[in-house]
Amino acid sequence: MTEKRRRLPGPDLRGARTQAYALAMAPFLFQAARAARELGVCEALRAVAAKGLTATELAQQTAMPQTSIDTLLDALASGELVACDDEGRWRLTTVGLVWTTDPQVQVESTFTQEVCWQGLSDLPQSLAEAKPIGLRHLGPWASIYEGLTQLSPSVAKAWFDYDHGHSDSAFKAALEILADNPPAQLLDVGANTGRFALRALARLPATRMALVDLPKQLAEAETALNAAGFTDRVSLHAMDLLDQAQPFPGSHDAVWMSQFLDCFAPDDVIALFKRARAALGAGGVVYVLECCPDRQAEAAAAHCLRMESLYFVGIANGVSRFYPATVLIQYAEQAGLKLDQSWDNLGTAHSLFRFVAA
């Protein structure tokens, strides 16, 4: 008997062709949706709600050529952002409303446009060489972290709105967890410009902190900490975090790494875990705050994290990603740590992990 042909996973051929062609046109839809938002088309339709507007009325309200409005509406309708009734009146759909009004969607889409759009065209080479070839569109650095203080204003705003928007959203909940057993000495590895340190020092008044990062980032952190009056509770330690021969300052009750390990290759993540473990005093713990695709309550969040991992490969550094929780825990175990407890659904997409020495 002939072996039965095994069917490929996925929809039937008709459905597969529909999805494949949609994928081929996806960049067109993204730019059409972005244009509709920037040119006021989405807002004009949102303002009239169920009443809707004809294409002619919409052209008049936005001061756009009729030919442009007609073409744009057709594209948006294909993407289900707008719909037209039998009387020729156009309205936003629920998808169009979210695209227009959801602040996080706007942050994500601006990050895509300003930071990633050009660089992702070099993704095949980046993937083949494990190098951020697409970074050349932003500047002449080995990684984006070297150039954060030199990005153009629009790119810098998009990058920091994205990065800070995610991390800041989780800090309050994470600090409440730390406040249950506040560390006397807390080491912040990858402290960046001190955004977490400022909140931690305010919420944990008995805690002293040591901050580790590149010199340029710590210079900005020092300015902010001085202005907040926290100078006497902080020490700054500038180092290249990729230099695994440099130990972290030691004898800490807790080590904190926030939205940080996603910036490093697997071998470096394991090495950073080892250095964090070595920096602990007796009974110390390591906290890791990360966005993990496999710990998301919303499918949209998991999808975004998996797609945006391509930013790390193509633009940021060539070798890292948003790691699944299962992978982070495995790397920690290889460094002599074990998971003590974890908390999910903090902020927009974060999980907090607490590790102890194995």
Per-residue pLDDT of the chain (358 residues; tens, 9 = 90+): 455 667 888 888 898 999 999 999 999 999 999 999 999 999 999 999 999 999 999 999 999 999 999 999 999 999 999 999 999 999 999 999 999 999 999 999 999 999 999 999 999 999 999 999 999 999 999 999 889 889 999 999 999 999 988 888 899 999 999 999 999 999 999 998 899 999 999 999 999 999 999 888 899 999 999 999 998 999 999 999 989 999 999 999 999 999 999 999 999 999 999 999 999 999 999 999 999 999 999 999 999 999 999 999 999 999 999 999 999 999 999 999 999 999 999 998 999 999 999 9
Q: How many domains does the chain have?
A: 2
Residues 88 and 134 in one domain: no
| Cα-based angle 112, 117, 118 (whole degrees, multiple of 5) | 155
Residue 30's CATH number? 1.10.10.10
pLDDT at 148: 87
pLDDT at 329: 98
- Listed residues 101, 133, 165: the one ending a domain: 101
The pair of three-digit structure tokens given for residue 59, joined into one six-digit string: 């052209």
Segment 306-347, tens digit of pLDDT: 999 999 999 999 999 999 999 999 999 999 999 999 999 999
Residues 163 and 80 in one domain: no
Segment 71-80, tens digit of pLDDT: 999 999 999 9
CA dihedral 38, 40, 45, 47 (to 10 degrees): 110
Q: What is the pTM of this model?
A: 0.91
Residues 175 and 313 in one domain: yes
CA-nearest of 147, 275, 169 to 212 is: 275
Domain that holds residue 61: 13-101
Strands of the sheet with 252-258, listed across from one edge: 234-238, 208-213, 185-189, 252-258, 280-291, 350-357, 337-346
Residues 199 and 312 in one domain: yes
Residues 58 and 159 in one domain: no
Name the maximum alpha-carbon separation found in the chain.
Answer: 81
Q: Provide the CA 234 distance to its chain's centre, in angstroms.
A: 28
Question: Helix (H, G, I), strand (E, B), or coil: what is residue 355?
Answer: strand
